[in-house]
Structure 1
Amino acid sequence: MKKLQKLLLLAIFSIGIFGTAKAQVPTVDATQNGVVAGGKYTYTVPNTAGQSWTWTIIDNTGAILDGTGGEYAMVDVEDYEKEITWNTNGTFYVLVETTIDLTGCTNQYAIQVNVASNDYTVAFNAGTTKVYCADDANIASGLEMTLDITLAGGAPAAAYYDMEVQFQVDGGATQTATIGADHKFNIPGITIADPVAPAMANITVTIVKVTDKNGVEFTPLAADQDLVIAINPIPAKPTISF
């Protein structure tokens, strides 16, 4: 009977050990905030001769992720440098274990990465129409556009700039401009040959896509993607009879 009890206790103890054996959430050495789903970030450790590195991505339950679930995609730049694109929001851990090749001695470092949802919004500033007289010099020099861009309802941090905006003028070829935190860019100049009888009554500028510094792409709602530039003719030059 005693032998049976010992075997039973051993079995229970073994189940307790192996039932809880899994990857653990690592002890965090640093935290990275301000990451948006869809962004690509570079992670680097010191390139010390005679050492090698093992990189592991862990989720908030302590499970090791291999990338096949789509949570992230990792590119091996070097053994000591990785580019990671975070595809989904959540809390993740980047764990690096470094090993001295000669001795096998190890040490590790972990960062917690807080990935937020892509809640960017973009629209043209100050309504959907701008009105110009056909002889306005700004039309020929290139009209300034200003966008309203928010992230999670507030102004994006400086770390997200510069951004690239892709746009079209009257449905033409897609063009690209760079915008800083002021959200301003110029479309190419438009020639009005005859301001008294301009060949066009309006021009439509369309936002195609905006991409932040970290590669996160976002597009406007259909109601916010167009800005109409109205071009009003000027009257014929009056003559004074005398």
Structure 2
Amino acid sequence: MTRAIIIDDEKHCSESLALLIEKYVPEMTIEAELNDPIEAVDVIVSKKPDLVFLDIEMPKLNGFDLLKSLPVIDFEIIFTTAYDDFAIQAFKVSAIDYLLKPIERDELTKAVEKFKKHRADRDFEDRFMVFLSKYGRAEKGNLGKVALPTQEGFEFIDQDIIVRCESDSNYTTVVLEGQKDIVVSRTLKDVESMLDSTSFVRVHHSHLINLRHIRKYHKGSGGVIVMDNGDNVSVSRSKKSEFLDRI
């Protein structure tokens, strides 16, 4: 059985969707119907659902901010929305499913069938990263958050606190300011493509740094950068000119 949670601030919408699921998707059980998105964060963590039907526009916390509040995302999501054309375009590009309100039976069953396929493919991480790249918009003066894929799911991290990233074969270690390092299940090249290009620069085939966290630069063949946390990062000769142009 598939274990699902419905999150919608409008009670009649969550109840209507639950009735449709009960009638037309018998292989799915509803673990919780929630109308308070803040409460939903704790319920998701404790219930560990397979699938979440998530409304986008909600007071206190919209659907995207709710996801950013979670330590990891290790479940599939079907968004529900009444409008938000920009989000719909991002969903189409990323192949993350959505349902337009009022939700109809045929659309629901199609979305559930897609969920089953995606769940089998286990490629939600890739689709969600594409969605974020299309939809995410950083606030002025703030680099915004990035969703870093880990073995457990996703961790949403403020780009401002990323000091540097270091390649480890097909994985990348992300060094954070004042927090424990994160090992990301992506190459350094992949991580670089997720981050703000105006603040992050590749200084070595194994090193990507946040320009906001540089403390010193020691000249040399390529040179050595001292980061705010005291880490020393070597600059390759081939990257030296680009780095000096950026600082």
TM-score by length of 2: 0.27
**Rg bigger for which structure?**
1
Q: Tell me which protein shows more helix as a share of its residues.
A: 2
Higher RCO by CA contacts (8 Å cutoff, separation 6 or greater)? 1
